[in-house]
């Protein structure tokens, strides 16, 4: 039987990887402009890291982790998200001692055993950013502005930003019991998952997509009416800074995140174009996480975006780089000249392709078209003798005569914009 990839694990083929690189490069540029530095952490961590951060009762930890015992009897897990590992590294290497305010970004594969569908995979890729050490709502606003800038730069006006506040350990327990009292009379309408959540985490009923749960929670008390004064003024300031910077957003008081570490500000970048996989990026504050993992009491806030979902939104837009020049040869005698020219041009940073197999001129020109080369040139005996050739701009057929030297060709064919 032919070997195929594991279900939910995808190959990113060359025709797609141009789009992926465009996303990654745009993120690096926008994040580095905002003062973020890259951190690279392992894909495998001790299982306990995730149960202690994401939370034992969450879907991720309960049902979705790739957990196994390795040959040394260690209980390990393929990371289902990036924040826990980045904060583990932040604590382990005492990055806070250098500067309690750190801005870190990361990108790479994450693993969740979910039911695969469009926009949801078992190996998927996130690009994430985390700020530690700032309580001030300025940090929330800068992060959200950066996220908005990323989507603007990538050329998407969808998705849109939704924000909420989930309060803190001071005010959330009271809201939780208010919500529980409201749900008590409607518990029969809830789906089986939410009947369990009613006990463990009733807030999750608010973003359940089951029809019964949507009806049961209609008119439920809003978390925003139950914030303590500290959380309330923090959230007002976040909104004020977003208003000051002209960043569009809407408030979604029913947004509840599927990870336990969040406090105060939470947010999602939401699209209507990917069915139920509507979150393209998501995140929030986690002011208690670092101390919960054994580090100092330092607040944090961050987000992660799903690369596959962004790539889907970008659609069929062309991002693969095209050759600057295709060199065709009339016969075997010109192949040495063509090869040396290609070698020289490549060394000076011009992207060149040529025929490797001694094909007919017609099939060489077909290949130049297929590769979408910007210029082509045909080298025959006359061109070799005169040391000059006509370079054809493929888009409009314009012919430009130039010497067969790197110095003459490079400025002619190299893309300048």
**Residues in contact with ligand HAM by the rule CB under 6 A:** 81-83, 112, 114, 119-121, 124, 126, 128, 130, 258-259, 279-284, 302-306, 308-309
Judged by CB, which is closer to ligand HAM: 55, or 128? Answer: 128
What is the smallest separation between the CB atom of 56 and ligand HAM, expressed in angstroms?
16
Judged by CB, which is closer to ligand HAM: 223, or 325? Answer: 223
What is the smallest separation between the CB atom of 281 and ligand HAM, expressed in angstroms?
5
What is the smallest separation between the CB atom of 166 and ligand HAM, expressed in angstroms?
12
What is the smallest separation between the CB atom of 330 and ligand HAM, expressed in angstroms?
51
Judged by CB, which is closer to ligand HAM: 284, or 299? Answer: 284
What is the smallest separation between the CB atom of 320 and ligand HAM, expressed in angstroms?
23
Judged by CB, which is closer to ligand HAM: 137, or 323? Answer: 137
User: With helix as H, strand as E and coil as C, how does the chain read?
Assistant: CCCCCCCCCCCCCHHHHHHHHHHHHHHHHHHHHCCCEECCCCCEEEHHHHHHHCCCCCHHHHHHCEEEECCCCCEEEECCCCHHHHHHHHHHCCHHHHCCCEEEEEEEEEECCCCCECCECCEEEEEEEEEECCCCHHHHHHHHHHHHHHHHHHCCCCCEEEEEECCCCCCHHHHHHHHHHHHHCCHHHCCHHHHHHHHHCHHHHHHCCCHHHHHHHCCCCCHHHHCCHHHHHHHHHHHHHHHHCCCCCEECCCCCCCCCCCEEEEEEEECCCCCCCCEEEEEEECCCHHHHCCCCCCCEEEEEEEHHHHHHHHCCCCCCCCCCEEEEECCHHHHHHHHHHHHHHHHCCCCEEECCCCCCHHHHHHHHHHCCCCEEEEECHHHHHHCEEEEEECCCCCEEEEECCHHHHHHHHCCCC
Judged by CB, which is closer to ligand HAM: 212, or 258? Answer: 258
Judged by CB, which is closer to ligand HAM: 128, or 202? Answer: 128
What is the smallest separation between the CB atom of 286 and ligand HAM, expressed in angstroms?
6
Judged by CB, which is closer to ligand HAM: 205, or 263? Answer: 263
What is the smallest separation between the CB atom of 309 and ligand HAM, expressed in angstroms?
5
Q: Which residue is nearest to ligand HAM, using beta carbons?
A: 306
């Amino acid at each position: 039987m032919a070997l195929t990839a594991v279900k939910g694990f995808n190959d990113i083929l060359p025709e797609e990887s141009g789009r992926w690189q465009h996303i990654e490069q745009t993120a690096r540029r926008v994040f580095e402009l905002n003062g973020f530095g890259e951190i690279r952490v392992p894909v495998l961590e001790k299982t306990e890291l995730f149960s202690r951060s994401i939370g034992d009762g969450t879907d991720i930890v309960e049902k979705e982790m790739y957990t196994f015992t390795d040959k040394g009897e260690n209980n390990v897990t393929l990371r289902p998200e990036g924040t826990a590992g980045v904060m583990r590294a932040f604590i382990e290497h005492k990055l806070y001692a250098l500067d309690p305010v750190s801005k870190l970004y990361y990108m790479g594969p994450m693993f969740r055993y979910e039911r695969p569908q469009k926009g949801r995979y078992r190996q998927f890729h996130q690009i994430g950013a985390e700020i530690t050490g700032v309580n001030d709502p300025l940090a929330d606003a800068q992060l959200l502005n950066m996220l908005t800038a990323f989507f603007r730069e990538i050329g998407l006006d969808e998705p849109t930003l939704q924000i909420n506040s989930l309060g803190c350990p001071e005010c959330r327990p009271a809201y939780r019991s208010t919500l529980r009292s409201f749900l008590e009379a409607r518990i029969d309408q809830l789906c089986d998952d939410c009947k369990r959540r009613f006990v463990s985490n009733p807030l999750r009923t608010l973003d359940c997509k089951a029809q019964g749960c949507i009806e049961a929670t209609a008119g439920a008390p809003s978390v925003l009416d139950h914030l303590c004064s500290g959380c309330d003024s923090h959230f007002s300031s976040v909104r004020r800074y977003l208003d000051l910077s002209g960043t569009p957003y809407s408030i979604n008081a029913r947004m509840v995140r599927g990870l336990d570490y969040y406090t105060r500000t939470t947010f999602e970048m939401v699209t209507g174009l990917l069915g139920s996989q509507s979150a393209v990026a998501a995140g929030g504050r986690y002011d208690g996480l670092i101390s919960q993992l054994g580090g100092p009491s330092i607040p944090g806030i961050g987000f992660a975006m799903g690369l596959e979902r962004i790539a889907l939104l970008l659609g069929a837009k062309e991002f693969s780089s095209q050759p600057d020049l295709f060199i065709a040869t009339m016969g075997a005698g010109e192949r040495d000249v063509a090869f040396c020219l290609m070698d020289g041009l490549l060394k000076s940073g011009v992207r060149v392709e040529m025929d490797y197999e001694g094909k007919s001129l017609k099939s060489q020109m077909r290949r130049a078209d297929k590769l979408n080369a910007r210029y082509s040139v045909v080298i025959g005996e006359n061109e070799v003798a005169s040391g000059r050739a006509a370079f054809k701009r493929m888009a409009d057929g314009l012919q430009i005569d130039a010497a067969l030297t790197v110095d003459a060709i490079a400025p002619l064919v190299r893309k300048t914009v």
